[in-house]
Structures are given as structure tokens and as C-alpha cells.
Amino acid sequence: MTKATTGMKGDGYYDAHSSFQSDVAASGAALLKQAVDATRLPADGGVTVADYGCGEGKNSMAIVGSALDLLAGRGATEPSVLHSDLPTNDWDSLAANLSGAGSYLEKHPNARALFAPRGFFERVTARASVTLGTSGSAAHWLSRQPAGLHMPDALYRSDAPPAERDKILAQAASDWLDFLTARADELQPGGVLLVQMLGSDGNADPVRVSAAGLLKLMNECARQMIEDGDVPQDAYAAYCFPVVPRTIEEAAAPVNGPLADRLELLHCGLTAVPSPYHVALEKTGDVEAFATGYTAFTRAFSETSLRQGLFSTGKGDPAALADRFFALMVEKLTANPGDYPFDDLTLAITVRRR
Ligand SMILES: C[S@@+](CC[C@H](N)C(=O)[O-])C[C@H]1O[C@@H](n2cnc3c(N)ncnc32)[C@H](O)[C@@H]1O
């Protein structure tokens, strides 16, 4: 089984290049307040907040900090915080973030942080132990590459031919059911989970799929490397970029179906979050800063997966091939800055454990 990712690019790189994900979290501020208000707090005031797919932690500090402020406002004392991600996440950076400026521990010195290095498609902590769960820009990652994929010219949900798209959507549906089943096991009765992830408005015409413009650019770079002999065509055809934006119907399906007796749907909706790289370009006209910033943002979340699925399958040095891929991105963005919009639709879903 090929894992979809081993995590983000480490050593502070993801934290330095994730202002879009930070904006996504900020766009959910009102939903976080509603989630905390809807949570049934344990009688002794002790609460556990879990952040699933926490990454290196800069954005995790911010969302957990907001959650702790809101929970303190409701009388919660001595909170525990569980930061959960893959075992291969950059946990050193997370530990450094916890003790640095910007840590929620500055304002909430009574809080205690725990790390849960386990994939979120299974239970990562004790049953019925989590009061409030959050997950930002993470649950759209697949657990693995869909089996038997053959996509000779595409990388993503938006461009996949129908039969291949069905395989991608089947993997995404099974992963999402696993994700929510594990959270249903972990949430306390009355506990609430808020997940923000990439979305799609599936029924509209034309369909909007978050990040489709960026994946078109990534696909052009990959195709060029195949033409140059750097990446084998058969490895590329068996690979999709393992992130799948969901529609409202797809996101709500497990809660309306197999998990209906355990989870209650409180909210499921789409919000457009502008790309900060395109906003800055419009304001300043600085194409060079746009091309390098948009590429660094992309590199931060995609490099490990691309290396595993594409760059380590050929004859060349995977690190050098990664450099080449992202240099191509900068070239193409500099030449045609208007051609590759990010066009996000963030999907947010809030559920409560019955
Ligand atoms: C784009 S980052 C988001 C980090 C942070 N939540 C934020 O908002 O900036 C996605 C995170 O999801 C994590 N992730 C991907 N697949 C995962 C899995 N199966 N289990 C746990 N974490 C996973 C990655 O390791 C990464 O840290």
C-alpha cells in the first residue's frame, strides 16, 4: 500500500509557507464559536481539545488558542490538548512552537499538551475522551493511492476521466467514513468536532473543485518532466495527487447514513477563502513575489507526496527532481501569472456525538 503522504515539508518550511491554511482557520472563527457553544462540557470542568492533522503547529497554536479562550469563557479549567498527526510529521517543530512566542501556553499556562503520532483514519486516543475536536486543511488527504488507477494525462479529481474519478471518489468516501468513525469513538457524549477541508460545489455547472487551477499547473510541470525523461509515464499514470475536495453531499453522507445513530450534523457548508498570493499580486503587481510565494506554498504541502509518487520512481536524484519541478512552476507562473487561479471553496462540517 502506498501512503498518500508522510507529512508536510519540515524544519519550519510548512509553517513559513502556509498563510492560506491560516486564512482558512480564520474564516472558521464564527463556526468555532458555534462549535464550542454547542459542546456539552464535563461537569468537573476538565476538557480535552484534539487537533487532527496539526502539522508543524503554527496554525494549530492559533486554532487551539481560540478554542481554549472560548472554552475558558464557558468555565473550563485545566484543559488537555492533543496534537495528532502522522508519526512522520515534524514533531520537533511542533514542540518548539509549543514553547515559543505564539504558543497558547502563554495565555493558558494550566493547559497540558499531548502528542498523538498516529494517522487519523483510525482512533488516535482513548474512547469517549475528546470534548472538542478541530481539523484544519488536513482531512482532504487520502489514506493511500486509489488501487488500479490509470490516468495517463491527469493528476486530480477535476481532470480525471469518469472511470478513474470513480476510483478516486470511492477511496475518498471510504477514508472519510473511517475518519468520522474514529472521531465518533473518541468524542465524549455531547462532544463536538469541526473539520475544515477543501470543497467542491459538485452539482453546479461548471463544477468548481478547490485548487483545480493549481493542479492544472502541477500537471503541466509533471508532463514536461515526463517529456524530458525525468519521470516515467507509467509511474505518473498510476498516481493521483492524493487530495480530494468534497461536496456538501459527500461530506454529510456518513452522518446522514451509517453514523446517524452516533453523530448529529450541526453544520455543513462552503465558504470561498481567497488565495493570499493572488490577493497580493492584484495589490502590488509583483509577479516575482507571487510566483515564488505561490510555489513555496505548494511545495510545503506537496513535495513529500510528489517525491514518493513521481520523483523517486525514475533514474534521477529525487531531491534534484523536486527542485526542477518547483523551478518549472516558478517559470510558468512568471510567464502567465493569470492562468492558474487557486479558486478555493472551503468545506466546513460540524458534528456532535450523540
Ligand atoms: C496542510 S497541513 C495542515 C496543518 C494544520 N492543520 C494547518 O491548518 O496548517 C495537512 C496536515 O495533515 C496531515 N495528514 C495528512 N494525512 C494524515 C493522516 N492520514 N493522519 C494524520 N494526519 C495526516 C499532514 O501530515 C499535515 O500535517
Q: Is the CB of 18 under 6 A from ligand 1?
A: yes
| Residues 6 or more apart whose Cβ sits within 8 Å of residue 293 | 17, 277, 280
Question: What is the pLDDT, as a whole number, of residue 314?
Answer: 82
Per-residue pLDDT tens over the stretch 43-60: 888 899 999 999 999 999
pLDDT at position 77 is 86
Model confidence at 2: pLDDT above 90: no
Taken in order of first residue, the domains within the chain and their CATH numbers are 13-353 (3.40.50.150)
The answer to whether residue 205 scores a pLDDT higher than 80 is no
138 lines ligand 1 (CB under 6 A): yes
pLDDT at 18: 93
Nearest to 251 by CA among 185, 183, 196: 196
pLDDT classification of 206: cutoffs 50, 70, 90: confident
Q: Whose CA is nearest to atom 26 of ligand 1?
A: 55
Stretch 275-292: mean pLDDT, rounded?
Answer: 98
Q: What percent of the chain has pLDDT over 90?
A: 92
The mean per-residue pLDDT over the stretch 105-128 comes to 97
Report the phi/psi class of residue 221: left, alpha or beta, with left for phi > 0 and alpha for psi in -120 to 50. Answer: alpha
Q: For all residues of the chain together, what is the average pLDDT?
A: 96
Provide the angle, in degrees to the nearest 10, between the axes of the packed helices 212-227 and 287-306.
Answer: 70
- Ligand 1 touching residue 59 (CB < 6 A): yes
What is the whole-number distance in angstroms between the Cα of residue 289 and the centre of ligand 1? Answer: 26
User: Does 204 have pLDDT greater than 90?
Assistant: no
148-184 pLDDT, tens per residue?
999 999 999 989 999 999 999 999 999 999 999 999 9
Q: Out of 23, 137, 186, 308, give the residue to mutate to test ligand 1, the one with the largest number of ligand atoms within 8 Å of its CB.
A: 137
pLDDT at 1: 63
Q: Cis peptide before 189, with omega less than 30 degrees from 0?
A: no
3-state secondary structure the chain: CCECCCCCCCCCHHHHCCHHHHHHHHHCHHHHHHHHHHCCCCCCCEEEEEEECCCCCHHHHHHHHHHHHHHHHCCCEEEEEEEEECCCCCHHHHHHHHHCCCCHHHHCCCCEEEEEECCCCCCCCCCCCEEEEEEECCCCECCECCCCCCCCCCCCCCCCCHHHHHHHHHHHHHHHHHHHHHHHHHEEEEEEEEEEEEEECCCCCCCCECCHHHHHHHHHHHHHHHHCCCCCHHHHHCCCCCECCECHHHHHHHHHCCCCCCEEEEEEEEECCCCHHHHHHHHHCCHHHHHHHHHHHHHHHHHHHHHHHHHCCCCCCHHHHHHHHHHHHHHHHHHCCCCCCCCCCEEEEEEEEC
pLDDT value of position 286: 98
pLDDT tens-digit profile of 308-331? 999 999 888 999 999 999 999 999
Residue 276 has pLDDT above 70, yes or no: yes
Residue with cell 462540557: 41
* Paired strand residues for 84: 52, 116
Rounded average pLDDT over 234-243? 96
Is the C-beta atom of 301 inside 6 A of ligand 1?
yes
